[in-house]
Amino acid sequence: MHDDPTVLLRKQLIWLALATVAGGIALLVNLEALREYAYVLAAGSAVLLLLVLIPGIGVEVNGARRWMDFGFMRLQVSEIGKLGLLFAMAHYLACHRRDLDHPVKGYLMPCSILAVICGLIILEPDFGTAFLCGAVGGCMLFLAGVRLKFLIPTALAALTLFSVAVYYDPVRLQRITSFLDVEGNRSDSAYQLWQGILAFGAGGLNGVGLGAGRQQMSFLPEAHTDFIFAIVGEELGFVFTAGVVVLFMTLFFIGVLQLKRAPNLYQYLLVMGALLFVTCQALINIGVVTGCLPTKGMSLPFISYGGSNLVFMFTLTGIILNGFRSWELPALRGQRDL
């Protein structure tokens, strides 16, 4: 893949350093102080999502225009969109928590924020990330208390539009049909998924050994990014892959248990949204690689190669830990408005 076998490692170490700084800032910053910048962040991310669609500004890779190239680094703009969505939704729903029965203030306005971010991501196109943002945003609406009489019709309409868009997109429709008949399409459209399944089969219970896997020898496309979980399964085995799943689920459930200490709805939704982004993305990636979901290019948090998502995941982790840490402070006790 590269003449220098260490090039990806060196790049990832640089991204890891940036991610550590971003996570540290997210851990130490005052979450309440960020509220006044929530809409600015959302608007800025929307502008970037628009700019990336312009030829010459956005970089097109495999038919999708998702990246901005700054020479020394390439940024996936949808990661900033996720962050803008998270802060804007948490802030708006907390500010209007007494208006959630109102069809405009409590429903149409927050849905508009969600629709703008998701719509711009779909235009890249990136259906998987748009679906993830829609799912997390929908959960935040539900947890804030928006009425099901608003949410259910909206969810059904969104799924219908999403299905129609997939149906009229030959590439994504082929991913669905290949997913339904993996063995029959194993030599062409389902080749990547089939090789991933073979990797799990070869790994067995304990794996073939770190670095001894066959699939890292370019048999499996995108082995270092979208399908890294298959490499983990082949080289380290079922026990280790099960441990990865358990770690993600443990993070989620411990986080949910800690949420009862949140001082207000804003911080509750902010941390819950961060937890959902991390764990849902992990479960989608694992579901794709194991053949439980149609193929979609989405990285495995903290493990896949890739800089933008690593920085985003460290930032989310910093937000989560920031909440847990600050909720212990005496100044926040007695100020709960949940």
Span 238-259, average pLDDT: 95
Residue 4 has pLDDT above 50, yes or no: yes
Residue 198 has pLDDT above 60, yes or no: yes
- Rounded distance, CA 259 to CA 261, Å? 5
Establish how many alpha carbons lie within 13 A of residue 106's alpha carbon, considering only the half-sphere containing its beta carbon. Answer: 17
Instruction: Look at residue 334 in the predicted model and tell me its pLDDT.
Output: 47
- Rounded distance, CA 285 to CA 290, Å? 9
- Nearest 5 degrees, angle CA 126-CA 132-CA 133? 90
- Nearest residue to 278 (alpha-carbon basis) of 263, 298, 295, 294: 298
User: What percent of the chain is modeled with pLDDT above 90?
Assistant: 65
Residue 176 has pLDDT above 90, yes or no: no
Q: Over the stretch 183-196, which tens digit does the pLDDT of each residue have?
A: 888 888 889 999 99
Report the residue count for the chain: 338
- Nearest residue to 117 (alpha-carbon basis) of 96, 99, 92: 92
DSSP string of 54-120, one letter each residue = SBTTEEEETTEEEEEE-SS-EEEHHHHHHHHHHHHHHHHHHHTGGGTTSTIIIIIHHHHHHHHHHHH
Span 236-249, average pLDDT: 96
| Sequence spans of domains, the chain | 19-332
Residue 317 has pLDDT above 60, yes or no: yes
Residue 166 has pLDDT above 70, yes or no: yes
